[in-house]
Amino acid sequence: EPEVTQTPSHQVTQMGQEVILRCVPISNHLYFYWYRQILGQKVEFLVSFYNNEISEKSEIFDDQFSVERPDGSNFTLKIRSTKLEDSAMYFCASSEGGRSISYEQYFGPGTRLTVT
């Protein structure tokens, strides 16, 4: 069964450093998403992406964040200058969208980001 994959599974970085989290969505999906879950808190929406542009973003997704689909398979989340409060589990998701009714979002296993 196709699945969303994410790398790395765990990333440790120092405050102020740039990190790139990588995701490979399911191949025929058109819509891509990033969410994050701070330890002990609910899963929060960051951004959605379709047709090579951001569809929607939350207040969390400020200028420090960016997303990119550099090729036909990868979808990346970049944090330019990490802060301690960016420590969280980051989930990538994808959905078919379009005229398909199968628009549920399929989630990857997550990347645990630890900022020290």
Partner 1 sequence: AQSVTQLDSHVSVSEGTPVLLRCNYSSSYSPSLFWYVQHPNKGLQLLLKYTSAATLVKGINGFEAEFKKSETSFHLTKPSAHMSDAAEYFCVVSPVKAYSSASKIIFGSGTRLSIRP
Interface residues with partner 1 (CB under 8 A) are 31-33, 35, 41-45, 48-50, 55-56, 58, 91, 95, 97-110
Return the number of the residue (19 or 106) whose C-beta is nearest partner 1. Answer: 106
* Residues whose CB is less than 8 angstroms from the CB of residue 56 and which lie 6 or more positions away in sequence, other chains included: 47, 48
> What residues pair up with 43 in beta bridges, in sequence order?
37
Return the number of the residue (14 or 92) whose C-beta is nearest partner 1. Answer: 92
Residue 58 CB, shortest distance to partner 1, in Å, is: 7
User: DSSP strand E in the chain: where?
Assistant: 5-7, 10-13, 19-24, 31-37, 43-50, 53-57, 65-68, 75-79, 88-95, 106-107, 111-115
Return the number of the residue (14 or 53) whose C-beta is nearest partner 1. Answer: 53
Residue 4 CB, shortest distance to partner 1, in Å, is: 8
* Residues whose CB is less than 8 angstroms from the CB of residue 98 and which lie 6 or more positions away in sequence, other chains included: 30
Return the number of the residue (39 or 84) whose C-beta is nearest partner 1. Answer: 39
Residue 15 CB, shortest distance to partner 1, in Å, is: 25
Q: What CA–CA distance (Å, rounded) separates 24 from 106?
A: 11
Residue 29 CB, shortest distance to partner 1, in Å, is: 10
